[in-house]
Amino acid sequence: NDRIIELDISVDQIPSLQIMGPIGLDEMGMNLQEIFGNIVPKKNKKRKMKISDALVIIRKEEADKLIDMEAVVKEALNRAENSGIVFIDEIDKITSRSGDGSHGPDVSREGVQRDLLPIVEGSTVNTKYGPVKTEHILFIASGAFHVAKPSDLVPELQGRFPIRVELKSLLEEDFIKILTLPENALIKQYQALMRSEGIELEFTDDAIREIASTAAKVNEEITNIGARRLHTILTTLLEEILFNTPDNIEKKSIVIDAKMVNDKMKDIVQDTDLSKFIL
């Protein structure tokens, strides 16, 4: 497998196209690239590589030949039209805070709502792979609605989202799960970062609980930004360690316990004005 061989590989001669302009021209750029790519023949280029690397390339080229792209696109369009789900996040950012939407930036916010309305109601949208009908697509929207209210949306758009669910604020137990359970949890990310410098970072159970408790407390007293609070707290907690790693830290193992968390965060949490800017 380590033997070096010479292999002919087909390469595209068309450089990537980027069209600057109004919305929609980026799709035109992709279509132009496909058109020119089909007109200009592909060029073979000789490359030297290991047999193991060549096997991957050959397997991919042969697999591409077995795929009927027309059938794939047709099936994809059918699934999108009949089983598709579109999630619109932060829809509260396009609501008219004044309620009437008759002046200032509220005019453009209402314009965005009017543009969304036909798509949510059901229309035909042109895409790179062909027209997509949105009549049977499920649309889900979410927003924090700290300043505005769902009733500030235009009435027609409100009618297209008939089911409303209000989520409860995250509690201390929820923060503990967020810190520990996900595959890419924040604590695991910081541990992997320190491990790359040859240092083992360990969080005790009581430290994790203290971090979660601090996040819940700050969210309740200042502004509820949800799980984002964990990131600011961990950044503040580990700031000195991260700054001194690896040159100024001799220890190969660092343990974060509840006392360290409390000592580092106590003054900041108690000073509301300070925690607004740091946490």
DSSP letters for 89-144: --GGGGS-TTSS--STTHHHHHHHHHHHHHHHH--EEEETTEEEE-TT-EEEE---
Q: 110: pLDDT confidence band, cut at 50, 70 and 90?
A: confident
Q: How confident is the model at residue 113 (pLDDT cuts 50, 70, 90)?
A: very high
**181 or 47, higher pLDDT:** 181
Looking at the predicted structure, is the pLDDT value of residue 114 above 60?
Answer: yes
100: Cβ contacts below 8 Å, ≥ 6 apart: 106
**Are 19 and 48 in contact, with CB atoms under 8 Å apart?**
no
By mean pLDDT, which of 30-39, 56-65, 87-96, 167-176 is the weakest? 30-39
Q: How far apart are alpha carbons 218 and 17 in whole angstroms? A: 48
177 — pLDDT class (breaks 50, 70, 90): very high
Tell me: cis bond preceding 246? Omega within 30 of 0 counts: yes
Higher confidence at residue 101 or residue 216? 216
pLDDT digits (tens, 9 = 90+) for 206-217: 999 999 999 999
Quote the pLDDT of residue 247. 81
User: Mean pLDDT, to the nearest integer, of 86-114?
Assistant: 77
pLDDT above 90 for 135: yes
More confident residue, 20 or 190: 190
Rounded mean pLDDT, 213-223 = 88
The fold of 76-159 is Rossmann fold (3.40.50)
Q: Which residue has the higher pLDDT, 279 or 115?
A: 115
Q: Does the fold of domain 172-278 match that of domain 76-159?
A: no
* Res 180: pLDDT: 93
Q: What is the pLDDT of residues 235-277, one digit of tens each?
A: 999 998 988 888 888 888 999 999 999 988 887 777 766 666 7
Residue of 192, 268, 200 lying closest to 233 (CA atoms) = 268
pLDDT score of 44: 75
Query: What pLDDT does 77 receive?
Result: 95
Q: Using one digit for the tens of pLDDT, what is the confidence trace for 4-54?
A: 888 777 766 555 555 555 545 555 555 565 665 566 566 777 888 888 888
Global pTM value: 0.67
E strand or H helix at 49: strand 43-50
pLDDT recorded at residue 5: 80
CATH code of the region 172-278: 1.10.8.60
Average pLDDT value for residue range 201-226: 91
Domain segments of the chain as ranges: 4-67, 76-159, 172-278
121/151 Cα distance (integer angstroms) = 18
What element of type H or E holds 22? Answer: none
Distance CA 143, CA 279 (A): 22
